[in-house]
Amino acid sequence: MPIDGTPTPLTPAPVRIFTSLLCLAICDALGAPAEFQARGTFPLITTLQPNANFNLPPGCWTDDTSQALCIAESLLAGTWSLEDQAGRYVKWWKQGYLSVTGRCFDIGTATRKALGIWARSPDSLGAVTTPAEEDVLLTVAGKLGERQYQGNGSLMRVLPIALAFWKYPEEAGRLARESSRTTHPNEMCQEACEFYVRVICYILRHTEGQECHDLSFGKGDLLRMMRWWEWKDEELRRRLGDGKFVNKEEGEIKTTGWVLDTLEAALWVFFNTSSFEDGAIKVVNFGDDADTVAAIYGGLVGAWHAKEEGFWVGRVKEWRDGLVKREIVEGVAERLKATEFKPMAGYGNNILIE
């Protein structure tokens, strides 16, 4: 299938930031009812539906959005601290912080195990870097660094780092890798986070004039970025590095919880559809880990297709309007887009916010 050659609209970065985070939540909620369902075994999903997995009404987002909001709130607090991020995840897990229902109703295996380690750390809810933080990270790495823990739980939440540090792509990539260490320390998980964040930064920089303000900037440019990316993980390089995955048949695309399958699926849908709406419908109907793959797709496609006018229309507007506790997501998105983040002098130092 030929790649859609339509260039991304020249939309201001604040609009893209807001739309990207909101689209993550929308796609999460849209895909949640299809989670755990085999592809082709359920009626086509085109609207927000009840989530029978957890007895939730239509429009409820899940752990993908909650943890992304945790990272965003940690950044907006003005410091870079993995301990603070982990503390917010623990608070979500134990107390329902930033949950659409006020409780944690779904959590991944690796995340639960990692947060159990953080919860036993006496300073796990602190807001500054301490020697204890690195001790916990080493414990997490020792227990959850093997191949069987190459899940998508850190990739699904990493978007706010790109939205905050899009002007500084190298810094954003470094911080994305760091953020994965709290629960998913495996190298593949870290690199998937770094790459995804760099793609979002690439989009925002090109459309805001940070690179070239190219009126013809299109998806082909993103494919070229994938080809020159210096992949560290060999499996990621083999599956994604040459860009040929975009030519796979739909039946070859897997939406398991493996981070490589997840990233490939989200990218495949992005490259093989021409609108947010068409891609969202396609990705959620893949089933399996539909909410997470859809959330990752949503963050990417929201950044790409965002427009000041004409985006929130028709079915897309219906999805937005049906999002439960939409004001929480929009409130965080508004603050993210209004905040000027600057790179840090070093790990653990305060983020300078103007």
Domain ranges across the chain: 13-41+59-353
The structure tokens listed for 280 are: 């969202």
Q: Are 108 and 63 in contact (CB under 8 A)?
A: yes
Q: Model confidence over 306-339: pLDDT tens digits?
A: 999 999 999 999 999 999 999 999 999 999 999 9
Q: Which residues are annotated as a binding site?
A: 62-64, 289, 291-292
The residue length of the chain stands at: 354
pLDDT grade, residue 9 (50/70/90)? confident
- Residue 4, pLDDT score: 72
What value does the mean pLDDT take over residues 70-74? 98
Q: Are 155 and 149 in contact (CB under 8 A)?
A: no
- Residue 124, pLDDT score: 46
Q: Model confidence over 46-67: pLDDT tens digits?
A: 999 999 999 999 999 999 999 9
Q: Are 32 and 285 in contact (CB under 8 A)?
A: no
- Residue 206, pLDDT score: 84
Given a cut of 80, is residue 83 above it in pLDDT? yes
Cα separation, 181 vs 189, whole angstroms: 9
- Residue 132, pLDDT score: 84
Q: Which CATH number fits domain 13-41+59-353: 1.10.4080.10, 2.40.50.140, 2.70.150.10, 3.30.360.10?
A: 1.10.4080.10
Cα separation, 18 vs 208, whole angstroms: 15
Q: Model confidence over 229-252: pLDDT tens digits?
A: 999 999 999 999 999 999 999 999
Given a cut of 50, is residue 207 above it in pLDDT? yes
Cα separation, 284 vs 33, whole angstroms: 9
Longest dimension (CA), the chain: 54
Cα separation, 11 vs 319, whole angstroms: 22
% of the chain surpassing 90 pLDDT:
85
Q: Which residues are annotated as a binding site for Mg(2+)?
A: 62-64, 289, 291-292
Cα separation, 108 vs 126, whole angstroms: 23
Given a cut of 70, is residue 345 above it in pLDDT? no
- Residue 5, pLDDT score: 67
Q: State the average pLDDT for the chain.
A: 92
Question: Considering the entire predicted model, what is its pTM?
Answer: 0.94
pLDDT grade, residue 7 (50/70/90)? confident
What value does the mean pLDDT take over residues 9-28? 96
pLDDT grade, residue 128 (50/70/90)? very low
What value does the mean pLDDT take over residues 177-204? 98
